[in-house]
Structure 1
Amino acid sequence: MRARTKHVVYSMGGALALSLAMTVPTFADTTGDTPDNTQTEAVWTDKVAADVNTYANIRVDASINSQRVGRLPKGGVAVAVGEKDGWIQVSSGDVEGYIRGDLLVSEEAARDLYVSTYGTEDISVWAEVIDTRPQETEAPQEESGSQEQESEETTETAASVSQDDLDLMAAIIECEAGGESYEGKVAVGAVVMNRVNSSKFPNTISEVIYQRGQFSPVASGKLSRVLSRGAREDCYEAARDVLNGANTVGDKLFFSAGSGKGIQIGNQHFY
């Protein structure tokens, strides 16, 4: 009887040892990924990415009227180093400046956007340096809160705009503001887009620009000539920004030279 009891005890002991041996590898495999995940999260702790269709402008100061020094491509990465009035101070590649906070995502969201855009977590896409321009315009005198109407970049417009729309926008900008500053060029384009979005005007870029009696370069034939040869690159740059939401005049629908009304940018007034 004692011999049988010992046999049972030995058998139970063997089964328990086998059971423990089978569970050990499971714990080892589960804990093996922790260091890598922690390291990945640490890399993205101070990172932001541009959540836009094309690029987000980087400016010297936290204002849309501030000089542009660079642009961060869609999904491109920057290091967030501060915040000011809803703008994020960033450092990216050789560029330092400010980007509007609503155009950026941070940390895990930044990593996910970067991976979905470029297919890797190895960060290599940073900001591009652009030629700086002297500030040639007077600061717009607007009511408090009007800054909220202005936009550096949006995530909605660009995908639905055709090449013909871009060509036409660049051409009308050259015709009406070819000698003006970047802000003045954007202002003319913004008036066109404000009309597109207004119930008082047609609802397409082409119909707005070609509406009878509205833009003198249409009647004079200047617009047609610019379209035939192609607008200048600086006007295309302004047109791209306008079609992505850039706006230096709020909701203004008209402009003219020397009228004295509304916002003055360079030689033109917007009202």
Structure 2
Amino acid sequence: MKFRKVIESGIITAALAVSSVTTAVSASAAEVDTTGVVGSVLDRASQIASTGIQSVQITHQNAQAAAAAAAQAAEWANKMLVTVDENSSLNIRKEASQDAEVVGKFYHGSGAEVLEVGAEWTKVKSGDVEGYVSNAYCVFGEEARVYAEANCETQATAKADGIRVRESYSTDAKILDVIDAGESLKVNTDAENVDGWVSVECNGVTAYVAAAYVDLDLDIDDAVSMEEIRAREAAKAQQAAAAQSGNTDSTASSSAAVSASTSDTQLLAAIIECEAGGEPYAGQLAVGAVVMNRVKSGSFPNSISGVIYQSGQFTPARSGKLARVLSNGKISSSCYQAAAEALAGADNTGGAKYFHAGTSGSGLVIGSQIFY
């Protein structure tokens, strides 16, 4: 290894210097008092060795920095971000033409993997959407990274369960919250930079987590397909009509339907996305059913928002994940459909009011979660 070789070179140089001087001194020791000379030469040899090691340390640090920069450049080489503002969107088209069918949309803070770059259009893939975007509204590679750092949130994601969120950057500071593996908090990039700690936003206040237990990533959204957009609009229209008429159609209903505003429908769909976005549809419906069973039970708050935001109940509500999903609108059509069915009275859990991850234990296993 080059690092090791440089260190050995420095030590060998010093050793040779000491050996040479010692030999010379031995040869003339009978005629000259060499005590001072030997001491001086040994000091010089020590300086040579020390300088060699310091040089190696600097070289190693430079190599590490260069490697990190190269890795970052490679990571962003095939990335792009859109530059539209928060009130705009960018169409993704089926072909590289302004007249081609729109297959999805990018919103502010969205990005994609670059598949093919053209003079005016670039083929990209983002989430479930693949198509062409106009280069005029995109930035690529290093420019995309700089844009993302300036315009996208940075998230601190827990690497393990039970990560403490503290009031200050000390292990003696008050614990404000505890997050589990996969849960994220927004990084407060304006806060004081403290070695070994990451400043985050927790329940509206500045807090700190130990840097060793979180991964830091830019929160870049995927594109939204036209199917998802249409499903959202249909679900909102359906629930708005139901709220106005006081009637809701029910499929596989086992309990009374509940009228809900458009905002309640979106909130229910969002918590389903957070808790079961990667689950099969039955698992998504089950989460919606748990919320509605609580609303109707008399033992919990009697509103959808009251149940979801009840203290100590739904982790995404307190971690900030739910707020981010509501803000960016990244909710799948299946989660909207599950919310609509749950609101209509569908319940595939047998009246469950609780659930947790896992497939062993008492209760009804649906997907990778147990309902009871």
- TM-score, normalised with respect to structure 1: 0.42
Higher relative contact order (CA closer than 8 Å, sequence separation 6+): 1
Which is higher, the Rg of structure 1 or of structure 2? 2
